[in-house]
Amino acid sequence: MPASDYYKKLDIKQWVKAAEKETGAAIKTPANKGPKKLKGKALEKEIEKVYYKLGHGVQIDIMDIGAVFKMGAAGYEKDGDIEAAIAAAIKKFRKN
């Protein structure tokens, strides 16, 4: 059986493993890459979703909202956990 027919019968994961074994080099595919890091507007949008979910009905000074968002971004950069960082920030800045 020619090699081209062999690869046609395999699914993507099997094909990548066979090609890596044959070439001896790792092949980058979306399946074997790590999770994509959020940045810019996507990170702000995710922080906003978490903030509104956890901070609904909580009074926070308008001047402290920026600090809450900064703490959320710092928590994401540190360990990837936006919710824990936002919860800590809300606990720190809440007025009611």
Summarize pLDDT for 60-73 with one digit per residue, the tens.
999 999 999 999 99
Rounded mean pLDDT, 24-37: 62
**Helix axis angle, 82-93 to 41-54, nearest 10°:** 60
Say yes or no to pLDDT of 80 above 90: no
Say yes or no to pLDDT of 93 above 90: yes
> Residue 38 and residue 2: Cα distance in Å, rounded?
43
pLDDT at residue 58 in the model: 92
**Helix axis angle, 65-79 to 82-93, nearest 10°:** 150
Mean of the per-residue pLDDT values of the chain: 80
pTM to 2 decimals? 0.60
Say yes or no to pLDDT of 33 above 70: no
pLDDT at residue 87 in the model: 93
